[in-house]
Structure 1
Amino acid sequence: MAQSVLLSHLLQNKVKGFFPKEKVLVEEYEFVHQALFTDPDDQSGWFYHLWLLDQTVKPETPLLVSTWPVHGSDIIVSAEGCLDGRALSPFTSFHSDAGTFPLILYFNEAVEGVNSSTVTVKSVFTENKDLVWKPLATSKSCAAQAWVTHLNVPDVKLHPSTAYPIEVNLGDSQGIISLSGSHCSHPSRFAFTVCVQPLSSEHVERQGVEMILWRDVNFHFYDAHIQESSPIAYFDRLSIKKDHEPAASKWHAKTLVNEIALVRQLLSEIDCKIGKLTLARLLMAHDAMMSYMAPHSHKKVHSEEVLQLFSDLMELDPMHSQYYKEAQSLVLLQQVTSNRESLLKHCCHHRVSTSSSVGNSVCLRLNNLSLSRIGCVEQLLWVQMLDLSHNELRSIDGLEAMQLLSFLNLSHNKLSSFTALEPLRLLKLLKVLDISYNEIGAHPIDRRRYLCSSPLSHSVGSDWNFNEFVPDDAKVTNYWEAFAIFRGFNLMQLDIVGNAITDEKFKSFLIKVLPTLKWVDGEELH
């Protein structure tokens, strides 16, 4: 442990006269190999090996890995999700009633210092100095992987055929810093154009006249062989690829290949749980590095083997099965988002004939995948309609980065309390939410509330007039959590049936808290 701390300090600060990082890591790998083969059951050697792996694959500085809008896209900002009667791609259209649209930056690790000094936005809509950047994190930390600002669309009649350019530059200064103290030293630039579709009187008359139904019959899949029908035409521009030193990349890849071969050899001689875990992490790191070095490939060569390794670990080590299950979920999501074809298999068109509230009506369906954790969010910033039903989610951490989400189905999961829904407080565009058939109210003690910043904090909402919403004989704790989560939402539709907490009294409470509701549990409010 002391050795890793000292080495980490030397590598991070690049002590003058110290050996190059690659030479140091090679020597340390050789040292730990001796320990692993001498006593494979000694976990300290494996832990040090995992630390060396992290030093090998982790970039030395924070990197911008994804944005919305994506580079080179032509965005249509409109109060309607269609133009000239044609459905639009979620990459090229955005439904807004507020006269603003979000600009999202997603980094490979949590950073702080994102502001108008470190990020320059050139736009005819808003002065750069007037932009306020906010970290998308449920905690009170000033650091986050995802950051957002909003550009105002002028309340004037702009010509719909005019494309207004917007250019974003960051990284020229040393102000964007990771939690470890490293600076974002690789300048990034991306640009896109915006067309403004004026709000029509027809839209005002027919806005939001239909309830959203999540039944399979209301969705149809896109034809993967017809490019014109693809709603993800800008998929290849999702990730921001950078040209780092090719020699270093080759060394990293060679090191991973060598370590994979060594661990395979060791596992052929002894059945070792932490060895299997190490092999899974090595294979995942190798696939991630290969997709980075060959950005047009995106093929996850070892994903099936990794999935099997985690399945084996769940049987060998049931005490930590939830950890392995969550890691397996991340691999599944990496498979789904690894290329255009696999992602398109999960994209559906929602059959809505008259409602303009659905916008582009493209839904990403990640239901029935046995997911227990959200991941690969950097590939999903464009999603406005998401179906995560019939999974095993206990947490939705990560969804807060998906600022375009307007329609979300979380039904038939394992969410145990309203505290687990805290990321939703950062989704200001959310209109439709289905949390039916979860476990909310079924557990008398919610241990999660002690692990995260929660609505139970005395500092949150201390000025709210809570008592005017709650029945006199109600259990205050349950109502307070729901109040803290949903207060300020503009939900149009909410489904909450099938939870232990649900009764008519609680529904009446939610209707008071959410005056914008039109439907609750499939019934229209009058």
Structure 2
Amino acid sequence: MHGRIKVKTTAEQQETKRKEREKKLKLYNAATGKIFDKRKNKEFDEDLLTMTGEVLSQNSDLYTLWNIRKETFLHMKEIKAQEEMEKICNDELYFLESCLKGNPKSYGTWHHRCFVLDNMANPDWKRELQLCNLFLEYDERNFHCWDYRRLVVKRSKVPIEEELEFTTNKIHNNFSNFSSWHYRSKLLPLVYPDPTNPAGVKEEILLKEFEAVQNAFFTDPDDQSAWFYHRWLLGRGRKKMVINCLYASIPQNRVIVTTSQPILVGSSHQMEVFLKDVSIEGSWSNVAGNSSPYSRLWISFRFSLTCEFEAEQLFSDSDQDISFLVKLSGSECESTMAVEMSAGEMEGWTCLAEEPGSKFSHELSAATSSTLERELESIRELHDVEPNNKWTLLTLISLMKALDPLKYMQEINQYTENLQQIDPKRRLYYKDFRSRCVIENYLEAYDYNSRVVSLNNLSLTTLYHPELLVLTVTMNLSGNSLVSAMNLHWLQCLMTLNLDNNQISSTAGLGSLSQLKDLSLRNNLIEKAEDLEELSQCPSLTVLNIKGNPICNNTHVQSIVFSTIVRLESLDGTVRI
């Protein structure tokens, strides 16, 4: 048991225990052997119930034996009178209760109890509800019992208002009862539904719930149950499925589409491309391939141009404008986006317009601004009393990001730094979280038409939201703490990339960047030619800089790299001979 000092056993005690185990094993094998023989011979009788009962009373986790008892009950149900069968079922319920007292978290026992009640003519659901109350008194966190209680409530048609009151009482007895908070979150939308939001709760009820949960975490700020419920009360907005960005390139003969949620083109959703209002055929793929069939980034290429649009017409300097339109359709969405290219333009793009500061707020909360402001004020009060409480800091950050991430940028950064000191075991998580905050703030004010991204010297540990950077042509990520380039496969328009002074040991993730021409990887952790092999898949890469990497200790590094990347023209300033 936890907290008890382990007492060493003597050799004699160990031998005694070994003999006891052997004896029990022989008895178990003999009993189960007889049970399986009777099952094989289809002898489903009272003796089989007795034999399985003797074994299950010692170990109720033997699911096969519960299945054998089920088979026996179904057989008896066909041949015995209803009154006799009712008595057998009641006896079984008492037997199950004794098993649960020995092992209250036995899956098989709880499932078998459901089976027995479903096969009774007149089950006593009221008694079952009392049984749930009893076992939840023993252990209020027994999720097996909570699951069973939900089934009993559903079958017995207990008013959900009474169940909501039950959770109130359990929470008042113990604020740390996470199961009660969770159950409450399922009941509130049913008892007090929000007419404007099917999954929501009436505003006046939410205000009372906020007050109740504040009492909980002001009483014990270190208990996570109330904080999780508070996060549920704030809710999460659901972003509509739409096309976020559309890019079209005539020389590359491809269209790139990013969506607000991951989709599978050809299955859950269909995507059509129209050129001058005429549908054209093409194949769709995502850069992740089979490893992740659902994606927010889809590329269509190898168009079958109709006779109306010969290739030379599209590349000509005529005075005709060109328009690409993409239509996304699915079971619950329909979205279109168009790109207009003037005469002589070879590429064009369109991005979804969003209000500054609102790009990520939907991911954080569905609550009104007044509610968020009020909660922020309350949590600030708690923070003044408990400045080193991680739950307080995390909630403050969440509220600030939902309200105005740019306004609270400095405070968010400071709180994230504090979390790394307060909770050092999750230091790397907080570093990634800080990277996310920094990138989101950058993107809130970013002009996508510039197509230049400068995220250098920001101590980033990973690159979040790469799907929003698809149009980027030039990117500077130097002077960070990046250990991987995997997320960069989204940057399908990228031509120049600076990854100097990071901790990258492999170029995995860069092989799909068909437009990449100039790559700098100075002062990273590239050790061998194999770490650069994926760059051989970049058809446009001509300039590479790898100075300051361990691989440069090899005197033959130039010949090795030039032979690995055959299209490369310049390495560390040296031109291929």
Shorter chain as normaliser: what TM range?
0.5 to 0.7
Determine helix, strand or coil for the equivalent of 1:274. helix
Residue pair 2:501, 2:523 contacting (<8 A) in 1 also: yes
- After TM superposition, list the pairs within 5 Å mapping 1:130-279 onto structure 2: 130-137=281-288, 140-150=291-301, 152=303, 155-158=311-314, 159-160=316-317, 161-171=319-329, 173-174=330-331, 185-195=332-342, 197=344, 237=353, 251-271=367-387, 272-279=389-396
1:38 aligns with 2:87: no
- Match in the other structure for 2:412: 306
Determine helix, strand or coil for the equivalent of 1:156. helix
TM-score (structure 2 length as normaliser): 0.57
Using the alignment, how far apart are the partners of 1:29 and 1:139 within structure 2? 45
In the TM superposition, what whole-angstrom CA distance separates every residue of 1:63-118 from its partner, at most 9, and x where no partner exists?
Answer: 3362033xxxxx7x57xxxxxxxxxxxxxxxxx4xx423322132x4333466962
Query: Looking at CA atoms only, which structure, 1 or 2, has the larger radius of gyration?
Result: 2
Larger CA deviation: 363-372 vs 277-286 = 363-372
In the TM superposition, what whole-angstrom CA distance separates every residue of 1:151-177 from its partner, at most 9, and x where no partner exists?
Answer: 648531444332111222224x21xxx
Using the alignment, how far apart are the partners of 2:321 and 2:565 within structure 1? 37
- Match in the other structure for 1:454: none
Distance 1:406 1:308, change over 3 A: same
Shift of 1:384: 0.9
- After TM superposition, list the pairs within 5 Å mapping 1:63-462 onto structure 2: 63-64=241-242, 66-69=244-247, 77=249, 96=251, 99-107=252-260, 109-113=261-265, 118-124=270-276, 127-128=279-280, 130-137=281-288, 140-150=291-301, 152=303, 155-158=311-314, 159-160=316-317, 161-171=319-329, 173-174=330-331, 185-195=332-342, 197=344, 237=353, 251-271=367-387, 272-287=389-404, 300-339=406-445, 363-415=452-504, 417-418=505-506, 421-441=507-527
Distance 1:241 1:314, change over 3 A: closer
Residue pair 1:400, 1:426 contacting (<8 A) in 2 also: yes
Determine helix, strand or coil for the equivalent of 1:425. coil
- Match in the other structure for 1:224: none
Using the alignment, how far apart are the partners of 1:113 and 1:170 within structure 2? 9
Using the alignment, how far apart are the partners of 2:312 and 2:467 within structure 1? 33
Using the alignment, how far apart are the partners of 1:233 and 1:68 within structure 2? 5
In the TM superposition, what whole-angstrom CA distance separates every residue of 1:311-350 from its partner, at most 9, and x where no partner exists?
Answer: 2223333333332222222222233332358x89xx6xxx
Distance 1:283 1:480, change over 3 A: same
Using the alignment, how far apart are the partners of 1:251 and 1:52 within structure 2? 8
Shift of 1:368: 2.1
Using the alignment, how far apart are the partners of 2:421 and 2:192 within structure 1? 49
Using the alignment, how far apart are the partners of 1:10 and 1:131 within structure 2? 49
Percent of paired sites with the same residue: 25
Letter in 2 for 1:427: L
Using the alignment, how far apart are the partners of 1:492 and 1:286 within structure 2? 46
Residue pair 1:68, 1:382 contacting (<8 A) in 2 also: no
- Match in the other structure for 1:514: 565
Unaligned runs of 5+ in 2: 1-177
Residue pair 1:65, 1:239 contacting (<8 A) in 2 also: no
TM-score (structure 1 length as normaliser): 0.62
Residue pair 2:521, 2:545 contacting (<8 A) in 1 also: yes
Distance 1:394 1:121, change over 3 A: same
Residue in structure 1 matching 2:231, options 8, 26, 50? 50
Residue pair 2:409, 2:441 contacting (<8 A) in 1 also: yes
- Match in the other structure for 1:475: none
Unaligned runs of 5+ in 1: 70-74, 79-95, 175-184, 200-231, 289-299, 348-361, 442-477
Question: Which of the pair has the greater relative contact order for Cα pairs under 8 Å at 6+ separation?
Answer: 1
Residue pair 1:389, 1:412 contacting (<8 A) in 2 also: yes
Distance 1:33 1:150, change over 3 A: farther
Shift of 1:39: 0.9
In the TM superposition, what whole-angstrom CA distance separates every residue of 1:250-291 from its partner, at most 9, and x where no partner exists?
Answer: 853333223222211211221212210121122112227xxx
Using the alignment, how far apart are the partners of 1:115 and 1:394 within structure 2? 35
1:23 aligns with 2:198: no
Determine helix, strand or coil for the equivalent of 1:40. coil
Shift of 1:511: 1.6
Distance 1:9 1:411, change over 3 A: farther
Shift of 1:386: 1.1
Residue pair 2:272, 2:279 contacting (<8 A) in 1 also: no
Letter in 1 for 2:516: L
Residue pair 1:313, 1:324 contacting (<8 A) in 2 also: yes
- Match in the other structure for 1:456: none
Letter in 2 for 1:364: V
CA RMSD of aligned residues (A): 3.9
Distance 1:9 1:510, change over 3 A: farther
Residue in structure 2 matching 1:486, options 524, 530, 535? 535
Distance 1:8 1:58, change over 3 A: farther
Using the alignment, how far apart are the partners of 2:509 and 2:242 within structure 1? 22
